[in-house]
Chain A
């Protein structure tokens, strides 16, 4: 059995098998992961994290592949996290994003990891953030996270990136689709991919309109004065890769803007999000894991109590046992990294 410190040592020495195994630890919530992260944490924070999202078939994987080629040309190393959905029925997943990037498999400056969304909401964003932290500590200069843009848990994943790229393509609904909640709010850069198809120019114009109609910024991150209007970039990711240069320029511009605005504040908020996810998962496990409160709940419900009565009772018993627990009680005041809420 490998210990956390041995794994950290191998990881920091550039061992790719250790990189892969560390991400598995994060994904499986292995009890050794917290110790591992502790050992590598001083090395986390150098990489620029780019989230790429959009509807199925918009061309995210192809675009990611084209981006990697350009990033490699300018001497960067790239870690890629490609997330695909798990089946809600079997719990299994078919992860096929690598097919679009197979020419990168042999490149020692690139690492590609497929991740299944599994079942939990917070769990995916937690594991994805952990995977990025591990790749960051390993030394990649850019990290790309790619995920299908549907629903809250995927939103949470890309929102953990420094720059969020939302990819759309013509023929998948009009500009009003793009104005629906979530898509514009999360985007730092908007991409109209498959720009060679009919309707691409129209979609780009609609998006530019929609951007102008909103008071754009990422409000939870930054001060009210910080404004960033997402540029709209047209790309055709297959073949020669038209527009990929412009897309990278847009990402660079956003990076420069965020670094000037308040990168630290933005990242601090994301670390707090991660703390919340870890706390949430631990509580979930404590309350409903194998040694949890299920039996107690069933017994209490048997006494013709409502679910609310039972919940109240369980919550009270948990909170009481915590406040009475001495050494733990003091820890609550010290939330790491954030005093400005």
Chain B
């Protein structure tokens, strides 16, 4: 019988053509046994949220290097909520200052990863957070 897999959307919102990081993360998460839906570049918040809904993902990971995270991340969150997808685990990475991370954590991005983060750390955080969530779901069933 098939076990449940962590499904992750990896996407790049906005006008930012640097997808090396996103591709690296996608490959790392795959190598940790996750099913990664890779959306590619230039995604609007609506596209990201709609894809998350259609694919019934557990996690949305956003990569951004353009500096527009304070605009785009909250918009993604909004669009997800609009579609009843507030339960999705939100995370991301890129060039984001500590103050901005602090601000975004209040909006549901409980953990964001900056340059130099070992990829292992990101995969492990997603894995342990999801395992914890699923355990709680079991209990409440």
Contact = CB atoms under 8 A, between A and B. Distances in A.
Partners in one complex: yes
A13 B2 CA distance: 29
A104 to B, nearest CB: 10
24 contacts: A1-B141, A17-B53, A17-B84, A21-B56, A27-B2, A28-B4, A86-B35, A87-B31, A90-B31, A91-B5, A93-B30, A93-B36, A95-B35, A96-B37, A98-B37, A105-B51, A106-B47, A106-B50, A112-B54, A113-B55, A114-B55, A118-B2, A127-B2, A284-B1
Interface string B63-89: 000000000000000000001110000
Interface stretch (B38-46, B95-103, B105-113, B114-122): B38-46
A30 to B, nearest CB: 9
Contacts of B56: 17, 20-21, 23-24
Contacts of A112: 54
B35 A93 contact: yes
A92 B38 contact: no
Interface in A112-141: 112-114, 116, 118-120, 123, 127
Kindly name the residue among B4, B56, B141 whose own CB sees the greatest number of chain A CB atoms within 10 A.
B56
A20 to B, nearest CB: 4
B31 A29 contact: no
B15 interface: no
Q: How large is the interface on B (under 10, 10 to 19, 20 to 34, 35 or more residues)?
A: 20 to 34
Q: How large is the interface on A (under 10, 10 to 19, 20 to 34, 35 or more residues)?
A: 35 or more
A94 B30 contact: yes
A127 B51 CA distance: 20
B34 A92 contact: yes
B17 interface: no
Given A17-B83, A102-B39, A102-B40, A94 B54 contact: no
Nearest to B39: A98
A91 B32 CA distance: 8
Contacts of B54: 16, 20, 105, 111-113
Contact of B2 (A1, A29, A92, A99): A29
Interface of A: 1, 16-17, 20-21, 23-24, 27-29, 86-87, 90-96, 98-99, 102, 105-106, 111-114, 116, 118-120, 123, 127, 281, 284-285, 289
Kindly name the residue among A16, A93, A106, A112 whose own CB sees the greatest number of chain B CB atoms within 10 A.
A93
Given A92-B33, A116-B35, 15 more contacts: A16-B53, A17-B56, A90-B33, A91-B5, A91-B33, A94-B26, A94-B27, A94-B38, A95-B35, A95-B37, A98-B38, A102-B43, A105-B50, A120-B2, A127-B2
Given A17-B83, A20-B55, A23-B56, A96 B38 contact: yes
B2 A28 contact: yes
Kindly name the residue among B37, B39, B40, B53 whose own CB sees the greatest number of chain A CB atoms within 10 A.
B37
B62 interface: no
Nearest to A100: B40
B12 to A, nearest CB: 11
A78 to B, nearest CB: 13
A99 B38 contact: yes
Given A23-B56, A113-B54, A95 B36 contact: yes
Contacts of A99: 38-40
A92 B51 CA distance: 19
A2 B2 CA distance: 20
Nearest to A96: B38
Given A20-B56, A118-B2, A95 B50 contact: no
Nearest to A119: B2
Contacts of A93: 30, 35-36
Contacts of B141: 1
Interface in B1-34: 1-5, 26-27, 29-34
B38 A95 contact: yes
A18 to B, nearest CB: 10
Contacts of A24: 56
Contacts of B30: 87, 90, 92-94
B46 A106 contact: yes
A116 to B, nearest CB: 5
